[in-house]
Structure 1
Amino acid sequence: MSKLELTHVMESWTKLFNGKLEGHKMTFNNEIGKGEIEGFKLNDSIELIRFDYKLNKTLDVDGYQLDDYAEYIPILFGDPFTTSVEVTCNVKQSKKKYKLNTTGAFSINSSEALSFTIEEGRTVQYLSVRLEKDYYQKFIDQSKALAESLDLEKQFFVFEEFDPSMRDFFQKAFEVEKGSLFENEYLEIYAKHLVTVFFSNINDREKIDESNKYTFSVEPVFKARDILKNRINEQIIIDELSKECGLSESRLRFLFKQIFGTTIHQFHLDERLDHSRVMLRDGSKTMSMIAMDLGFSSASHFSSAFKKKFNLSPKQYRKDFINSVLQSA
């Protein structure tokens, strides 16, 4: 698909939300809601559209309004932006409603068959990874299971719940610095990972060993991770954290370690220490001020933890950074 055609897709979304389109970025702040939708041409076979918005009123959408399935087939990843989607069967003109009550990904090969309601009052983030049809077919051709589930000659709707890997890479797509030098390159990596895991999980559905399946919802554990990342200025009490996430303390400890491979305290400490490097490079605060801002009991406690993680003291790290800046000037 050419850039001109990608622009046409973005124009469809712009019309739907009554927004303003500049290049491949659409923004809106009106009676419908507020947010942005941005399109990326990652390579000849993959496009990505990133959605981030909040609606002031409920919006009913029919697939024919989007007009974006001609050459590409999308896979949508993210939080459920609607409680259900309704699919009309082309042959019998019958309708089937699919419940979407968990974070995941779904793919459908007919826009006109799709209708859904976008609900008001909450922030919505999701990705549409659009695969050129021949590229989509290459994944399908990898196995009999995929060929049976995703036959492009027939209408299909397939949903796959997020696993920890998909959830992590989905979040990375929203954390990459917008407009940065390698934004497209990072997004291409994240999109390829999401797509590969999506097809892989569908292929493995009939042969998953029960001992290797997650028999629990991962959402409370990712909620705990988000809380830890957002509260780097304070100590975390795990009992309070577990109550916020709706799990027992022992259950949260166990699941967090199983999914992220580290303890809650170590993860939170690493986040604080990583942020301390940003503050050290900024140079506007003393070691004591940084220690206080990041919830350490003292400057010596901060220095000891920093040296243990990075093999040099905060003072030496700042000195090395200043010297590198002077040398490059």
Structure 2
Amino acid sequence: MIFSFTATPDFDFMTYFARHIQATVQNGLLTIPDHLGQGYIRKLVFGQDFKITIHRYCLKEDLILNRNTSGQGNDLITVFFYNNEQALEIDYNDDTQVLFSQRDESAIQVTSNDLNSTIRFPAHQTVHYVVVAIKPRRLQELLVGCEPNSVLKTITGSGNSFLFFERMEAETKLLLKNMGAVDMNDPLSHFYMQIKVQELLYLVFHKLSLRESAAHQMINSADAERLLYIRNEIISDLSVPPVIRELAQIAAMSETKLKQLFKQTFGTTIYTYYQQARMEEAAFLLKQGKHSVGEVGYELGFSNLSHFSRLFEKHYGLSPKRYSYS
């Protein structure tokens, strides 16, 4: 199933999606028809400039969401939380779809309203994701009293094009889980959810506020697509360190531009991102219990197992052997 829409500032996803699948919306709830699958989409509105849409369903066919920009400006901030073990495919330029989540790495995406995107959700798998849409002025009100770094200034500013990714920590995963379990028949549920959505935003923007302040580089859909492709190249073979020169050629960017945009978007350098992904893959393999420490180290390109153990312990606070038994 393909659903294409144009992201105008006043666009309401649930209303138009309900028409697309010939369903009805009652009290902010869209129940997925039986012939398409099971589950629901719920929308909560906290004013004309602040809302949350909660998606939880399992469909009988792939769902492809094509989001097109309206050309009417980008006075809207979208925060996307994808909380599934399964990978999703995402692209920003109608080109090559790239796996975004891997293993248990969930995704948080903060983007302006002027980037095209296509996301594919696989059939026969439970999909759970949350989208918070907020206008810059409302976000500024929530952030009042803080000293914003360059990232927060970019997000709350006017006319900026941006794309930021963050990993989802355990605290955010738990909060999303608890929000999904709220009894919406409770007369105070709307009030409670508004508090929890603000807590959700706090966790995201707190992490973004810790990023290094640097001049913001404008980004477009083509740049975003190339960055995701480069990210995929980095994690496709974790036994081989990334070579910036080769990645820049693949991305058709200068080395300087690639390094700047990658760090701006993912919050870390290319090599640090590679090392983090390496350690996360090591942790996954060790937890399976099917591989020895040596086998994991060698598979990830470490010829010196002592070096592997030191890096792993620095990342997780435990040696690989102790971690595998924890």
**TM-score, scaled to structure 2:** 0.54
Q: Does 1:162 align with 2:165?
A: no
> Equivalent residue for 2:190?
184
* 2:52 corresponds to 1:48: yes
Report matched runs for 1:38-187 at 5 Å.
38-43=42-47, 45-64=49-68, 72-80=76-84, 83-88=88-93, 97=98, 99-101=100-102, 102-110=105-113, 113-137=116-140, 139=143, 142-148=148-154, 152-187=158-193
Alpha-carbon distance in 2 for matches of 1:61, 1:120: 13
Corresponding letter in the other structure for 2:80: L
> What CA distance in whole angstroms lies between the structure 1 residues aligned with 2:95 and 2:181?
41
CA distance 1:100–1:17, shift in 2 (3 Å): farther
Preserved contact between residue 82 and residue 116 of structure 1 (Cα < 8 Å): no
Give every structure 1 segment of 4 or more consecutive aligned residues whose post-TM-superposition deviation is greater than 6 Å: 93-96
Rounded to whole Å, the distance in 2 between the matches of 1:122 and 1:249 is: 33
Helix, strand or coil: the match of 2:32?
strand
1:194 matched to 2:200: yes
Whether the 8 Å contact between 2:79 and 2:133 is mirrored in structure 1 is yes
Aligned partner of 1:50: which letter? Answer: I
1-structure distance, mates of 2:157, 2:95 = 19
Distance, in Å, in 1 between the alignment partners of 2:74 and 2:32 is 26
Higher helix fraction (1 or 2) = 1
TM-score, length basis structure 1: 0.54
Distance 1:98 1:152 in 2: 31
Given the superposition, is the C-alpha separation of residues 182 and 111 from structure 1 closer, same or farther in structure 2, using an over 3 Å criterion? farther
SS at match of 1:126: strand
Q: Residue 31 of structure 2 aligns with which residue?
A: 27
Counterpart-to-counterpart distance in 1, 2:321 and 2:191: 39
1:199-278 equivalences under 5 Å are 199-206=205-212, 251=323
1:47 to partner: Cα distance:
1.1
Query: Does 1 or 2 have the higher relative contact order (CA < 8 Å, sep 6+)?
Result: 2
Change (3 A) 1:149 1:135: closer
**Separation in structure 1 between the aligned mates of residue 54 and residue 131 of structure 2, nearest angstrom:** 7
CA offsets per residue over residues 111-142 of structure 1, 9 Å max, x none?
66111112111111121112123123555972
Which amino acid in structure 2 is aligned with residue 171 of structure 1? Answer: K
The 3 A distance-change label for structure 1 pair 206 and 24 is: same
Q: CA 1:54–1:135 in 2, change beyond 3 Å: closer, same or farther? A: same
Asked if the contact 1:16–1:65 (Cα under 8 Å) also holds between the matched residues in 2, the reply is: no
* Larger Rg belongs to: 1
Q: In the alignment, what sits opposite 1:311? A: none
- Alpha-carbon distance in structure 2 between the residues aligned to 1:146 and 1:72: 14
Q: For residue 175 of structure 2, what is the amino acid of its counterpart? A: F
Assess if the C-alpha contact under 8 Å between 1:57 and 1:119 holds in 2.
yes
Q: Secondary structure at the match of 1:205?
A: coil
Change in Cα spacing, 1:112 to 1:205, as seen in structure 2 (3 Å) is closer
Residues 197-233 of structure 1: per-residue CA shift (max 9 Å, x gap): 111112213499x9xx9x759x98xxxxxxxxxxxxx
SS at the partner of 1:19?
Answer: coil
- Amino acid across the alignment from 2:136: K
Task: Note the aligned Cα RMSD (angstroms).
Answer: 4.2
Structure 1 unaligned residues grouped into runs of 5+: 221-247, 255-329
Cα distance, 1:167–1:253 mapped onto 2, change above 3 Å: farther
- Percent identity reads 12
Matched AA of 2:209: N
**CA distance in structure 2 between the partners assigned to 1:71 and 1:148 by the alignment:** 12
Distance change in 2, residues 1:249/1:87 (3 Å): same
Deviation, 1:7, is: 9.2
Residue equivalent to 1:279: none
Q: What is the deviation of 1:252? A: 8.0
- 1:242 is matched with which residue? none
Q: Please say if residues 141 and 147 of structure 1, whose CA atoms lie closer than 8 Å, have aligned partners that are also in contact.
A: no
Secondary structure of 1:63's aligned partner: strand
Question: What's the CA shift string for 1:272-302, capped at 9, x where partnerless?
Answer: xxxxxxxxxxxxxxxxxxxxxxxxxxxxxxx
Is contact 1:55–1:122 with CA below 8 Å preserved after alignment?
Answer: yes
